[in-house]
Amino acid sequence: MSFSWLSAFAAVAGAVAHAADFMARLMPYRERLFRLALAQLHNTSDAEDAVQEALIKAGRNAQTFRSESSEYTWVVRILINHCHDVQRKVSRRQKREVAGEVMELKGAQIADTRASAEQNIELSEMSRHLMDAVNELGQNYKPLILMRYFEDMSYEDIAGALEINLGTVKSRMNQAKALLREKLVERGIGEDILG
């Protein structure tokens, strides 16, 4: 009887050690993950929380990592999914708040949110227009642009992180660039910014 208890304890200890080792390998990516989360969520506190939650979830599930992609790509996928969850929660909360408030108050809250995001990151005028345009792209295109141009991920890594095939990534990236160009031209910024 004690033998099975000892073997179970050893298995748990081994899993904990594996998770700790896995987490140690992920820590150098923390800053990159934070930048990606901040670009998605526009709030420093939410971005820090998202990275922490993604790393915790990755650590808990380290045993299930299959090495079909890099560890970073796997954690990016976890982070993006968590950011989408946070955005949905924020959206639902904002809809409830707006439903009971007057339009002037709504405008003040939006201005406050925008001001805090701009205070967190000082951007040049063109960078601000670019980020605004990227933020308008929607969930099918925004993560692609962020991963490719802000995190310098390859198309293959993006496909792995988003769990879609490479052809879909390339197709959506072309569509995302076209939409982004249109949005930048509407803002009076030259078409050649995306190359």
The pLDDT score that the predictor gives to residue 168 is 92
- What is the percentage of the chain residues whose pLDDT exceeds 90? 8
Of 25 and 4, more confident: 25
Residue 106: both structure tokens together: 């709504």
Would you state the pLDDT for residue 122? 41
Residue 105 to residue 98: CA distance in whole angstroms: 8
8 Å CB contact between 130 and 193: yes
The number of residues in the chain equals 195
Asked whether the CA dihedral 65, 70, 74, 75 is positive or negative, the reply is: positive
Question: Above 50 in pLDDT, residue 143?
Answer: yes
pLDDT at 31 over 80: yes
Give the per-residue pLDDT at 171: 92
d(CA 58, CA 77): 10
Rounded to whole angstroms, how far apart are CA atoms 166 and 155?
7
pLDDT in tens, 111-126: 444 445 544 444 466 6
The pair of three-digit structure tokens given for residue 54, joined into one six-digit string: 């993604």
For 121-165, where are the alpha helices, taking DSSP H only?
A: 125-135, 142-145, 155-162
What are the tens digits of pLDDT across the range 47-104?
999 999 998 888 888 777 777 778 888 888 899 988 888 888 877 766 655 444 444 4
DSSP letters, 61-120, are TGGG--SSS-HHHHHHHHHHHHHHHHHHHHHHHHHHHHHTS-HHHHHHHHHHHHHHHHHH
What global pTM score does this model have? Answer: 0.55
Least confident of 107-116, 164-173, 183-192: 107-116
- The pLDDT assigned to 139 comes to 82
Mean pLDDT of all residues in 123-150: 79
Using an 8 Å Cβ cutoff, are 42 and 117 in contact? yes
Give CA–CA dist 187/192, Å, rounded: 13
What domains, with CATH codes, occur in the chain? 1-95 (1.10.1740.10), 123-195 (1.10.10.10)
Judged against a pLDDT cut of 80, whether residue 149 lies above it is answered with: yes
In this prediction, residue 18 has a pLDDT band, given cuts at 50, 70 and 90, of low
